[in-house]
Amino acid sequence: MLPDFATMARIRLPEVAPGALADGIAYHHETDRVFHRLERFRKQESWTLGHMLSSGLRRGPARGVAHVGVELSLDGALVSSTDAHDTYLNAIGMAQQSRLAWKSQESEARFAMLITRLLEIGVPSDYRDPRIVADRLVRIMKPRPLLRLTEEETPILHDAMPAVHKRVDDEADAIMRDMQAALSEG
């Protein structure tokens, strides 16, 4: 999860020496690549884009919601698994113990602050709630001018998100099965 943590902290990962950490980062990137090519994910993303556009969002925010909203909704479906809890918390703990050569003290501080905050929050069980996911999407997209929701669009997102959340929740097990099969093939 190290690449995701770096993105969340808005920093770049430093170069890492060959070994377990580099292998883990490569596996993360391969997993992302496979996930984003899954037919079920792409169908959810496409449906969500259409749903958001017909609900009244502009194309930029609708595309952001279609991609990230489906991912966060899947996270919400997965937090009910205690295996996922353990895996997530272990990943944060390992990130906290990592000894990376950050390119700047600011990057190191941002990473440490993120990890501390994630440990304090724990498993994001509130992602089971589509309202929380909608609020998170607003925050994620706010710094990006082409994706930023207007004040008028925020309630539209809140009204439209439960349908997305339910569709993804209903497909979560199948998405994960597809993911495992695709990773074992590749």
The model's pTM is 0.87
Whole-number CA gyration radius for the chain: 17
Split at pLDDT 50, 70, 90, the class of 186 is low
C-alpha distance from residue 59 to each of 49, 55, 64, 148, 172 (Å) = 8, 11, 9, 11, 26
For residues 151-156, give the mean pLDDT.
97
C-alpha distance from residue 150 to each of 15, 38, 139, 147 (Å) = 38, 31, 12, 9
Who has greater pLDDT, 80 or 43? 43
Span of 29-43, 58-72, 89-103 with lowest mean pLDDT: 89-103
Answer yes or no: is pLDDT of 80 > 90. Answer: no
How many other β-carbons are positioned within 10 Å of the β-carbon of residue 8? 16
Q: What percent of the chain has pLDDT over 90?
A: 68
Q: How far apart are CA 96 and CA 2, in angstroms?
A: 10
